[in-house]
Chain A
Amino acid sequence: MLKTFKMGGIHPPEEKISSNKQITFCEVPAQLLVPVDQHIGKPCEIIVEKGSVVERGQLVAKSTGFVSSNVHSPVAGKVDKIVKMPQLGGQIKQCALITPDAPGENYAEVLKKDSINNFDLDKLSVEEIRKTIADAGIVGMGGAGFPTHVKLSPPPEKTIDALIINGAECEPYITSDHRIMLERAEEMIKGILILQHLFDGVPIYIGIERNKPDAIETLEKAVKDHEKITVVPLIVKYPQGGEKQLIKAILNREVPSKGLPMDVGVVVQNVATVLAVHDAFYYKRPLMERVVTISGNLVKNPGNIMLPIGTPISYVMEKFEIDPQKVRVMISGGPMMGRTSYSFESPITKTTSALLFFDESRIIGREENPCIRCGSCIRACPMGLAVAQYTEMIKANNIAPAVRDSIMDCIECGSCSYVCPADRRLVHWMRLGKNLIRREN
């Protein structure tokens, strides 16, 4: 019997139109805007300045604490200046504007030049593995951007007895993880084995929704020599890629309210993150590029492309022949959780899984109508939250103490707003509620 999570969930149109497009490579753009902060946690400290000469893989910004993450230059070049630029998602952050030495070079060639590193996995200590991952600046590439080495360092009182690889990719349109699973399965498995080594050979589950049968097949072939790795096909349901939902679906364990996956002995890693871990060990390559799905109704030839971190969106639009005059809605990430953006000069970051371009037919920003208490939001909520009730309290800035923990449990998946017949911006109000509660604490 196929598995899925039980509570709530929705099934938006899948729109995986780029799923059969191989990962392509770009040319090195004329300029790269490498953002200094691309993760959740303490901001980095920038260590290059105007005029600095950088090599590929050289540190641009240094992590300033445990929950922080390094940033490296994907190309050899010169730092033109440090500028503040609008990011995908809206904030304005510092970027290192880097002019590459060899613009126009195919990025596949750049990748080929990276030296292959031979090592004996059994001889690596746990500390060495964590340090390599931390130094490589690897963060959760599914969208959140939480530093991976932190997730891989649970406190000693938490025993980890299962590792889940998140290949659910439940968001509409996005196919970057799907392509990685198809084309880079062997490397993924190698990356997974490194993580397995970290937790004393715990069993590993790769959760994949069954709308990707080819990926399930490929990975099942790839893991047949590894008896502790299991591919788990899942019923298609959004938001299955949410950590708590995925753990519930695969292991039927429920992460307690306010808790983390490690509270139920699980660590979840995204497919792209696992690939980055592989690269960090086998090529000594820090996280400097990622696969991005380019799609949306304005993209004639949707596809999946390997882009260096810092590639400006304008370069992508030129490459995919997207008419900037027609674009009205630009989303980084999927339509459910991704953010709308306003600048074509924003750069790709470690967490940009997709870029979607739409004309005005993508209806957003409709007027809110009164809540008719239909309860659709509550039925759709994968966390079982009484969204309609909470948002009324939040709007009145009168949050009952009893519901605070519940509001903080919101995973902002957007299912409630998606189903709301009155077009209410429920996720938006829930986010506001979270911020109000955080401010009070």
Chain B
Amino acid sequence: MEDKLEARLLLMDSSPSGRVVESTRRIMYTVSLTLLPAMAISVWVFGWEAVRVLVLAAVFCIGLEALIARFVSYKIDFLDGSALLTGILLAMNLPANAPWWMILIGSLVAIIIGKQVFGGLGQNIFNPALVARVFLLISFPVEMTAWPKPFAGVDAATGATPLGILKTEGVGALAKTNLADLAIGSMGGSLGEISAIALLIGAAYMIYKRYITWEVPILFIGTVFVFSGIFWVIDPTQYADPMFHILSGGVFLGAFYMATDMVTSPLTFKGRLFFGFGCGLFTIIIRMFGSYPEGVSFAILLMNAMVPLLDKYFPDKKFGMVQNG
């Protein structure tokens, strides 16, 4: 009736009119923050070298994504935290004495081959940090397996990881390692592999925030425990005990931070159970029978490839799929 009422245009959108405060950025930065305890342990164990690897990996990953953002047609928000998280996780998978050029190659592989060739955030099939780790492991086996000894300082002598000792020298050589050291993180290994407890603290917060669910980590670790336990019961002189298997190597990092990556893990409940089980099974098969001492990265990448199938063939129960009335 009066024209002045129509003076300002109203905003319109599809319902609902309102959202939660949660955002992609908040999730990515929170997950990055939950890695703080594990990062702190790695700095405590390996000193400034660990800081160097962490900072370089993060800067390289974000920088590369910013660079790619200039050349692609779709929008890339390189500060959304996903590149930062990839960088931190990549660093977690590297030895503390990794040279800068190796970190750069790792970042290139993670961001370009691991993520952007698929179409960027949310589109990648494989966990970018793991793609980079496996690429480096195959390309530079010497550098990637020459781990600095804990608390040894900058120009430290390098030594093997507990799993490496197990592979090359057999179970008898493991007598020196005790479980408490493994749990706290005072052992050789890549930055993030070393402390199970620190990883658990971060993971507990992520489960509380529902960023990850319990299915994948529990099934993953459980499967590793059960299968290594079976071998151990059969012949304890040839196989390491199950506690050693779950606490050493990348099982905790893989189970809580790599396998649970939202983008590359199944959406459905049963899919996640199967995914966790598969990760554990492949890990043990590779550790026991493969030529590599550690199998977590390969296992997760193999299961990543199965995610679309798992989502398709293990759908969640829907409302109304019952016979009643």
Contacts and interface: CB of A to CB of B under 8 A. Distances in A.
Interface of A: 7, 12, 31, 90, 172, 244, 248, 253-259, 263-265, 312, 314, 317, 324-325, 327-331, 335-345, 358, 360, 362-366, 369-376, 378-379, 382-386, 388-389, 406, 409, 412, 414, 417-423, 425, 427-428, 431
Contact of A363 (B12, B18, B26, B311): B18
Contact of A421 (B23, B267, B324): B23
Contact of A264 (B123, B263, B324): B324
Given A336-B15, A345-B5, A417-B16, 14 more contacts: A324-B4, A325-B8, A328-B10, A340-B12, A341-B10, A370-B122, A372-B122, A374-B27, A382-B319, A383-B319, A386-B316, A417-B14, A418-B20, A419-B20
B155 interface: no
Given A364-B11, A373-B262, A383-B319, A417 B325 contact: no
B24 A329 contact: no
B236 interface: no
Interface of B: 1-2, 4-20, 22-24, 26-27, 77, 80, 82, 120-123, 210-211, 262-263, 265, 267-268, 311, 315-325
A375 B15 contact: no
B7 to A, nearest CB: 7
Given A372-B262, A373-B262, A422-B24, A337 B15 contact: yes
A363 B19 contact: yes
Contact of A329 (B17, B80, B267, B321): B17
B267 A324 contact: no
DSSP majority for the A interface? loop
B1 A341 contact: no
Contacts of A382: 319
Contacts of A264: 324-325
10 contacts: A248-B319, A325-B7, A329-B11, A337-B16, A383-B319, A406-B318, A419-B20, A419-B22, A422-B24, A428-B14
A358 B18 CA distance: 11
Contacts of B23: 421-423
Given A365-B11, A418-B20, A388 B267 contact: yes
Contacts of B77: 369
Contacts of A341: 10, 12
B15 A338 contact: yes
A427 B2 CA distance: 35
Contact of A344 (B5, B311, B318, B321): B5
B10 A340 contact: yes
Given A324-B4, A327-B10, A420 B19 contact: yes
Contacts of B82: 372
Contacts of B12: 90, 340-342, 364-365
Q: Which 9 A-B pairs have the closest CB atoms?
A: A414-B16, A264-B325, A428-B14, A257-B320, A370-B122, A384-B318, A364-B13, A365-B13, A421-B22
A337 B6 CA distance: 25
A193 B138 CA distance: 78
A412 B16 CA distance: 9
Main secondary structure of the interface of B (DSSP, over half): loop
Contacts of B262: 372-375
Given A364-B11, A373-B122, A388-B267, A257 B318 contact: yes
A289 B161 CA distance: 78
A254 B322 contact: yes
A256 B325 contact: yes
A324 B18 contact: no
A335 B211 contact: no
Contacts of B319: 7, 244, 248, 254, 257, 382-384, 409
Nearest to A343: B6
Contacts of B123: 370
B307 to A, nearest CB: 9
A4 B16 CA distance: 22
A202 to B, nearest CB: 14
Nearest to B323: A256
Nearest to A387: B267
A130 B196 CA distance: 69
Given A12-B18, A375-B262, A384-B318, A330 B10 contact: yes
B317 A384 contact: yes
A431 B14 CA distance: 10
B126 to A, nearest CB: 13
Nearest to A345: B1
A428 B14 CA distance: 6
Contact of B15 (A172, A363, A379, A412): A412
Nearest to A383: B319
B19 A384 contact: no
B8 A389 contact: no
B211 A374 contact: yes
A354 to B, nearest CB: 12
A31 B24 CA distance: 49
Given A341-B10, A344-B5, A423 B267 contact: no
Contacts of B17: 329, 331, 335-336, 338, 340, 358, 362, 364
B167 to A, nearest CB: 35
Contacts of B318: 257, 383-385, 406, 409
Nearest to A262: B325
Contacts of B80: 369
A341 B69 CA distance: 37
